[in-house]
Amino acid sequence: MARLPERETMKTHKFKKFFMPDISAGTASLIHAIASATAVIAALIAASAMILAHMTSDVKNQHSEISISRASQEITVVNESAAQAQLEIRQLTEQNDALKAELEREKAERLKLEASLKPRTLTPQAHDAFKALAGELKAKTLVPVVLLNIHKDDKEAVRFAKEIAVALTKAGVQVQIKQLPLQKHNTGTQVVVYAGAGTDELEQAFRTADFASEIKRSGQSPRVKVDDGDAIAISAFISVYPRTVI
């Protein structure tokens, strides 16, 4: 092998000495120890990072589970609140229906009371019924006799009885008025239809007029004396009592 010139050998020695100084055994051992410690520290840092990442993941999972649990509890509470609200709504609806029914009953009673306090009068339906009766009696040449009982002690009953008498007279009925003793337990307007002339036509007109609280049919043929003449059979007996018990 060719030897380098002495000058070149010297340059190489100086280069090594400059860039690769002589290191003692203690220094080398120290460097090795530092390198080993650095590697251990790096490994510890890496392990710590992994542990921290794992712990962070566990914390996130626990937080997620807690959030889900809380959300589930909140949903349960909301559902219970909704059920309670529906129950309260149903109860309020039932109470409202009961209140409406009670108000309707009170209204009906009030209207009934108001009607009982108003003076009685023949309705347009009643006047139409008596007009139809006039046509039938005229066509059949019938003149039925009706006995009308008026109680002079009750002004409202007297006024209503007179209105009935006028309507029947216009219809072609012979009306005989009589004043009978007032019986305190009788109220309203009562009609008895007997077996006389035009009884069917009279009963139909009375029921259509709907002015009486009671209409009965009797097979009897009572007679009443008119003025000084002979007694004649009556076809109906109408008694107008007070609206309420006196």
Predicted pLDDT at 165:
95
In terms of DSSP bridges, do strands 231-233 and 223-225 run parallel, antiparallel, or are they unpaired? Answer: antiparallel
Average pLDDT, consecutive stretches of 10 residues, N- to C-terminus, the chain (246 residues): 51 50 64 70 69 64 72 81 86 89 88 76 95 95 92 87 95 89 78 91 95 91 76 90 73
The pair of three-digit structure tokens given for residue 2, joined into one six-digit string: 């060719």
Alpha helices per DSSP H over the chain: 6-19, 25-117, 124-140, 155-170, 199-209
Predicted pLDDT at 15:
47
Predicted pLDDT at 21:
55
| Contact status, residue 240 vs residue 165, Cβ threshold 8 Å | no
The pair of three-digit structure tokens given for residue 81, joined into one six-digit string: 């609140």
| Contact status, residue 145 vs residue 235, Cβ threshold 8 Å | yes
Whether the model clears a pTM of 0.75, i.e. scores above it, the answer is no
Predicted pLDDT at 82:
85
Write the secondary structure of 166-196 as one string of H (helix), E (strand) and C (coil).
Answer: HHHHHCCCEEEEECCCCCCCCCCEEEEECCC
Residue from 159, 163, 221, 154 nearest 187 by CA: 154
Query: Residue 234: how many CB atoms within 10 A of its CB?
Result: 24
Predicted pLDDT at 122:
94
Predicted pLDDT at 138:
94
Write the secondary structure of 18-50 as one string of H (helix), E (strand) and C (coil).
Answer: HHCCCCCHHHHHHHHHHHHHHHHHHHHHHHHHH
Chain centre to alpha carbon of residue 183:
47
Residues 6+ positions from 153 with CB-CB distance below 8 Å? 182, 246
- Between helix 199-209 and helix 124-140 the angle, nearest 10°, is 170
Predicted pLDDT at 182:
65
Give whole-number Cα distances, 41 to 36, 37, 56, in Å. 9, 6, 22
